[in-house]
Amino acid sequence: MIKITKITQHFIHHHIAPKNTSLDDLFVSNTDLKDKKALAAYVIETYSLGQLISVKFNVADHILDFTYRHNEQTGRIVAEVAIVD
């Protein structure tokens, strides 16, 4: 099982400081979703966030960091990922 915790969301604005919003933790029973892109797609689908733009792969293995597009706005999600038994 994969646990996604400390999920924070904010929209990217060029002139406004981002307001972080916390989302509920997720538990993924499908351990085939170990790829960060697949996990990002799962989070987007779960919270109906829109369309995936990019996933950062140059961060630590336990960090999920991606951007998405929703209603003409660009958002960012940062979360921690852990594999639990």
Give the N- to C-terminal CA distance of the chain in Å, as an integer.
6
Quote the pLDDT of residue 31: 67
Q: What pTM did the predictor assign?
A: 0.87
Count of CB atoms situated within 10 Å of the CB of 67? 15
3-state DSSP helix/strand/coil percent for the chain, to nearest 5? 15, 45, 40
State CA 7 to chain mean position distance: 7
Q: What would the pLDDT profile of 18-49 be if each residue is shown by its tens digit?
A: 788 999 999 988 766 778 999 999 999 999 99
